[in-house]
């Protein structure tokens, strides 16, 4: 049983913290939501207006999800505003590199957070507060470290540069019986998206190719997602 002191309680973030029972299910709910949408656009928003406008177009185009990366100053506000305008959207924070970023993501209203690598401190903090966190891996040793930390959904990054679909299949095979899921990103485009989505362990794929928010590109991605729906 977890017992919080008054000081520890005061440090808990203000955002979407769930009840203890829901916390256990949080990552499974996010896996289910990402597996339903199948493609998670990775956004690098240069301004709040531009980032929110892309989220509007993603929802209009039938792709109601985004990983909004903490690579720009606008990210937090994009998460906040897009979550307000589109409650149907599954919105995550990306490039979450430390526990301060994690708390910024929660405060802004993100439903999950993603990182390019696996920082055990961030994993532990996310688990302490019951917030879904998806760390990045690209080797068997990193997968085993993440498994040891209790991670259920892993970002395979950088997917193409690490060996692409063939590498992912080889990486997934020894851990298949454990039921872990992957979200590959890095070099994924319409031309290779379906090959990744055909790997049974892949919940969803992500990429910045949708960052410009071009309606035709979104429509094409939404069609791929539909064709590859689980």
Interacting residue ranges for ligand 3PG, rule: CB under 6 A = 42, 94, 116, 157, 185-188, 206-209
40 or 129: whose CB is closer to ligand 3PG? 40
Give least dist CB 148 to ligand 3PG, A: 24
205's tokens: 């794929």
Give least dist CB 187 to ligand 3PG, A: 5
Residue 96 exposed, middle or buried by CB count within 10 Å (0-12, 13-18, 19+)? buried
Catalytic residues: 67, 155
82 or 114: whose CB is closer to ligand 3PG? 114
Give least dist CB 192 to ligand 3PG, A: 11
61 or 184: whose CB is closer to ligand 3PG? 184
Give least dist CB 120 to ligand 3PG, A: 20
28 or 212: whose CB is closer to ligand 3PG? 212
Q: CA–CA distance from 86 to each of 39, 72, 129 (Å)?
A: 17, 21, 25
127 or 192: whose CB is closer to ligand 3PG? 192
Give least dist CB 42 to ligand 3PG, A: 5
């Amino acid at each position: 049983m977890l017992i919080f002191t008054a000081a520890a309680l005061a440090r808990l973030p203000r955002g979407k913290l769930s009840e203890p029972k829901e916390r256990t299910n949080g990552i499974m709910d996010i896996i289910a939501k990402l597996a339903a949408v199948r493609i998670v656009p990775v956004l690098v928003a240069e301004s709040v207006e531009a980032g929110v406008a892309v989220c509007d177009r993603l929802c209009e185009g039938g792709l109601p999800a985004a990983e909004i990366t903490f690579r720009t100053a606008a990210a937090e506000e994009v998460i906040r505003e897009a979550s307000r305008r589109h409650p149907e959207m599954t919105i995550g924070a990306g490039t979450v590199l430390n526990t301060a970023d994690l708390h910024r993501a929660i405060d802004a209203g993100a439903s999950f957070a993603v990182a390019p690598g696996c920082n055990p401190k961030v994993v532990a903090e996310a688990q302490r507060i019951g917030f879904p966190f998806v760390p990045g891996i690209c080797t068997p040793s990193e997968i085993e470290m993440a498994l040891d930390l209790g991670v259920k959904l892993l970002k395979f990054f950088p997917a193409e540069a690490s060996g692409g679909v063939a590498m992912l299949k080889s990486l997934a095979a020894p851990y298949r019986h454990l039921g872990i899921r992957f979200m590959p990103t890095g070099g994924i485009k319409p031309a290779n998206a379906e090959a990744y989505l055909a790997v049974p362990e892949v919940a969803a794929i992500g990429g910045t190719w949708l960052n410009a928010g071009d309606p035709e590109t979104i429509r094409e991605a939404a069609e791929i997602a539909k064709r590859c729906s689980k």
